[in-house]
Amino acid sequence: MEEFAILLGEHFVKTYPQVTGSEITIIEKPWEPYRINGKIHHHGFKLGKGSHFCEIQVSKNKPTVVCSGLEGLSVLKTTQSGFEGFVRDNYTLLPEVRERILATEVLSVWCYKSKPSCYNKAFETVKQILLDVFFGPPDAGVYSPSVQNTLYLMGERVLQRLPEIESIKLSMPNLHFIPVNMPKVGVEFNHDVYLPTDEPHGTIEASLTRKNWSRHSKL
């Protein structure tokens, strides 16, 4: 997909003297073959979640910039999440918690400083890293003291593992599951009933770039 976007971008810049640069965005629709009892359906597909996209900038006199991304990846952990250690002042009402549900929809964009051996493989690796860091090991998981902390660690691990990536941005809304606690009508919260809400929520974001970065060097 990235290779095609670069080709398309170069086409406009090379073909038309009046064009100095072009920007191409492609978003993949993750259609997956449908399975019935483990058998792949002959012609049936369903739309999956977590789309791969790319944003390419081709210019007559500047190096090509290639960024890839992932959007719409919904994830949730039922435990091993809290929110603590944040700044408190006279206006802070929120109590710290060490036990809650953590749910979000990951949006991430990363930019390359050199060409990976395969853009699709790099995408799959980044996706896997983001999920692995978010969830932790299957049995024990990993404790998250905040979305901020987890999101930073997710981005950091991508930069550690993929030297061809120069920078990564992550945006993760904090989609609350509010404990239902109504003692006056005899319903006491016992880590059992939650109210899922989409609003209001904070959107937690981070942008991580390698030291001595070179504004997406030549590809």
What is the contact surface with ligand URC in residues (CB under 6 A)? 83, 94, 146-148, 174, 202, 204
Reading the block at residue 94, the tokens are 């929120």
Smaller CB distance to ligand URC: residue 67 or 102? 102
Write the burial class of residue 135 (CB in 10 Å: 0-12 exposed, 13-18 middle, 19+ buried). Answer: middle
Taking the complex as a whole, the smallest distance from the CB of residue 122 to ligand URC amounts, in Å, to 28
Smaller CB distance to ligand URC: residue 125 or 149? 149
| Cα–Cα distance, 21 to 28 (Å, whole number) | 23
DSSP 40-82: EEEEEEEE-SSEEEEEEEEESSS--EEEEEEEEEEEEESSSB-
Question: Across the beta sheet with 102-112, what order do the strands follow?
Answer: 21-27, 51-59, 65-77, 102-112, 165-173, 203-209
Taking the complex as a whole, the smallest distance from the CB of residue 51 to ligand URC amounts, in Å, to 25
3-state secondary structure of 151: helix
CB contact set of 153 (below 8 Å; sequence gap of 6+):
133
Smaller CB distance to ligand URC: residue 146 or 171? 146
Reading the block at residue 90, the tokens are 């006279």
Smaller CB distance to ligand URC: residue 33 or 202? 202
Smaller CB distance to ligand URC: residue 59 or 174? 174
Taking the complex as a whole, the smallest distance from the CB of residue 173 to ligand URC amounts, in Å, to 10
Smaller CB distance to ligand URC: residue 120 or 174? 174
Taking the complex as a whole, the smallest distance from the CB of residue 217 to ligand URC amounts, in Å, to 34
- CB atoms near residue 152 (< 10 Å): 16
Taking the complex as a whole, the smallest distance from the CB of residue 172 to ligand URC amounts, in Å, to 9
